[in-house]
Amino acid sequence: MCKKTFLGFGLTVSLALLVEMQGYGQALSKKAEALCSNVTMLDSKPFSALPVNVRTEIRKALTPDILAFAKATDISMQEAFNLQKVSLDAIQVPMTTKTSKLYVVHWGDALFGVNGAIWIVEVNSQGARNLIAPDEGMNRGRSFGGWGMQVLSDASGPYPELMFASKGYHAGGGAEAEAECVRKIGAFYKSVACPVDCFDNLNNR
């Protein structure tokens, strides 16, 4: 009788452990699926929502880069082009420091198609600066490109790793979403390899 009770107890414990392990595996799977799939549209937060002093500093810092991008895309040739009236969007990115604020600034225009210009701007008591290196973005105004973004991690310190989603095309010619992951290395954000499941998760949203 005791032997049967012991065997039954052992089976119950084994099943409980199996269920717990399966549940843990599912939790990890859901976490992995969320990576690069919870994308925020870059045009969802208007630049006008920022405080006036922040907007002033960001425009001052980005003026050379906006102008360079406008020239590279020939939009500056448009009769209605006005550098000071360029319509921007801005998303504040959470940071672990209180001395600076980080913004992803986006310039979208019908002439660019789906992918607009993206800048990463740090604002503090000394002003604002573009955190994209001069050699990034193929010299098109020190910018990345895309339509959406996600914060991936803040494991590298106060400056989180980011993913930018853009429209691209696969080898067969059909449209697909492409991911570009960036991390602050030294003084600037630079392109790095994305997590393994990032591309699939982005395209299977």
Q: Are residues 28 and 71 in the same domain?
A: no
Q: Are residues 10 and 39 in the same domain?
A: no
Q: What is the DSSP letter of 120?
A: E
Q: Are residues 71 and 164 in the same domain?
A: yes
Lowest mean pLDDT among 169-173, 179-183, 199-203: 169-173
Q: Are residues 18 and 69 in the same domain?
A: no
Give the residue numbers spanning the domain of 27: 1-33
Q: Are residues 139 and 89 in the same domain?
A: yes
Instruction: Tally the domains of the chain.
Output: 2
pTM: 0.80
**pLDDT surpassing 80 at residue 37:** yes
Q: Are residues 44 and 126 in the same domain?
A: yes
- Token pair for 172: 């067969």
Closest CA to 144 of 110, 186, 95, 179: 179
Lowest mean pLDDT among 18-27, 82-91, 145-154, 159-168: 18-27
Dist. CA 171–CA 157, nearest whole Å: 37
Q: Are residues 29 and 106 in the same domain?
A: no
Q: Are residues 127 and 69 in the same domain?
A: yes
The pLDDT-based confidence of 34 (bands split at 50, 70, 90) is confident
Q: Are residues 15 and 40 in the same domain?
A: no
The tally of CA atoms less than 13 A away on the side-chain side of residue 60 is 12
The pLDDT-based confidence of 124 (bands split at 50, 70, 90) is very high
Collapse the DSSP code of 26 into the 3-class scheme (helix H, G, I; strand E, B; otherwise coil) and give the result.
helix
Q: Are residues 8 and 80 in the same domain?
A: no
